[in-house]
Structures are given as C-alpha cells and as structure tokens.
Amino acid sequence: MARSIFIDGESGTTGLQIRARLAHHPEIRLRSLDGEARKDPAAKRALMAEVEVVVLCLPDDAAREVAAIAGAMGEAAPRLLDASTAHRVDPEWAYGFPEMARGHAAQVAAARRVSNPGCYPTGAIALIRPLVDAGLMAPDQALTINAVSGYSGGGKAMIAQFEEGRADPFFLYGLGLEHKHLPEIQLYAGLSRRPIFVPSVGDFAQGMLVSIPLHLDTLPGAPEAADLQAALSAHYAGCDWVRVVAADAKAQLEPQALNGTNMLELRVYGNERHRQAVLVAKLDNLGKGASGAAVQNLGLMLGLDMAAAMPLAAE
C-alpha cells in the first residue's frame, strides 16, 4: 500500500524539489489541496487526517499554525516534517540530521515530529559536532563560521533579483550577528560559546561552501590537521550521504559540484608550519541543505528506500 504524504507549501522552492524527488517513488502517494482550499483550515485538517506525513514548506508562523492543528487532532494527527526554522531548537521535535551523532538516525525514524535542518547549519554542525564529541574542540572554542550560498536559498524575491540582473554578484549579509540559524548551529554543534557566523550569497543558483578557520594550538591537545580529518572520517564511516574527502591545497574549491544530489563533502586543509587549518563543507543548499535532507528523513520516518530520489554526485 502506498504511503500518503501532503506537502503543505508545495509551490515554494523547497516544496517543489521535494515533490519532484518523490513524484515517481512507487511507494508514495502525494496528496494536495487546490485553489482556495489551501488557505482553508478545515480543508487542511480534513486532508491531514487522511495522510501519514505532512511536510511543512511554509513560513515559520504558518508552520506553527499547522503544527497546532495537528496537536489538536490527537491520535488522528499525522507525523510532521517541518522544513521551516520554526521548530529547530524545540526539544519536542527531533532534529533531522541523521548523521549528527551515533544513534540519531533511529531518533528521527521514531519521531512523530521532525525538524529539517537549515542549509548553513548542516555544513557547520557536520564539521564541528564530531570534533567536540571527540574532545578535539572545546565547547567554548571561539569560532568564526563563513559561508557562501547560491541565491536559491533566499526565496522567490532574491531569486527574481538575481535572474533579472538586479542583484549584486556577491554580498555579505546578516552583519548584525543575529542570523536565525545561529541558535540551531550552537545547540546541535555542542557549543557553549556563540560562534560568529558570516553568511554570503553569490551569483549562482545552487551550491554552498561552509568554512571554519582554526588555529590548531588553541584546540585541546594542540592536534594536527590530520587528527581532525581522522576524527571526521571515523564519525562518518559508513554514511551514505556524508563523506570526508582528502583536501588538495593547490586546487580551487567551487560550491556547485554536488548540485542535484543529497551529498555532503567535508575537507580539512592544514598547514603544520603555521599551525593553522580550515574546515570546509560542500553541499547543495537545496539538496542536503533542504529538499534532499527532507526526503532522507521521510525515508527514515516511513522505513522506505529513498536512494532513487537522492542521486549521488559523480565520483
């Protein structure tokens, strides 16, 4: 029997990509609301009672409203997967980064409510959390996280600005140091000190690089860059969608190579003479950073193989 899913907000960037990835899955039936019914709480509640999972691709306030509807449905409520930022640090929601820690995928699989990670946090947490857990980075480490994303992560208005030639080719933003992803990064990376996060947008549609510079002598035990890479490799050994790649310091690293996939690549660049390192995560901001991660989490929640909906990057 097909498993029924309702994508609430399927016309947005994330929703469209989730729908495209799931459209031909033989074990999934996608349900929708048409026209004005999309704004009718009663119609939405009726459909929610008929499906197994509702994926929320909505603004934060709207996602909270749908979660409240589900909360009032009791045992008839569907499971929820929220792609907004509304519930990412809510302890009643499982955080949908299955590779984050040992056993975490099982928590996602069993949860009634799962919050899909943000694109920037996925790269940052993937780099930091294993090092904190391994004792190679202190929770109160002073960190700066730099990141550049394709413009598709900015929503319809930003996409239009770039595609119509009205946007600058590159810009920093979030310079008030209050970016909405910061609480999520700090919590799930295991940090007690708030990091400095400097996001940016470039003139390309999809792709992302997240980088974290380090002075090795400030880390516990003054490790070498090779120790950091070994810890990351050990943490992600056997993971299908996260891989640690040998860093080539002579090569340029561009952000778009993983577009269309659910892959996340991690690299450690080091210079032992200067005792410095740079950690780098590369991903598709609409793949492992959004829609791909949602499909991966749906697979865990429903016990379905989603490999066909999440192609690997070319080797």
What is the predicted pLDDT for the residue at 314? 39
User: Known catalytic residue: 57?
Assistant: no
Note the pLDDT of residue 181: 95
Q: Classify domain 119-285 by CATH number.
A: 3.30.360.10
Q: Please say whether the beta carbons of 95 and 188 come within 8 A.
A: yes
With a threshold of 0.85, does the pTM exceed it? Answer: yes
Q: Which residues of 109-128 are buried (b: 16+ CB within 10 A; e: fewer)?
A: bebebbbbbbbbbbbbbbbb
What does the pLDDT read at residue 244? Answer: 98
* Set 119, 279, 283, 310: catalytic member: 119
The answer to whether the beta carbons of residues 214 and 272 sit under 8 Å apart is no
- Residue stretches of the chain with pLDDT short of 70: 311-315
**Among the four given CATH numbers 3.40.50.300, 3.40.1010.10, 3.40.50.880, 3.40.50.720, the one describing domain 3-117+290-309:** 3.40.50.720
User: For the segment 123-171, what is each residue's pLDDT rounded down to a tens digit?
Assistant: 999 999 999 999 999 999 999 999 999 999 888 889 999 999 999 999 9
What residue spans define the domains of the chain? 3-117+290-309, 119-285
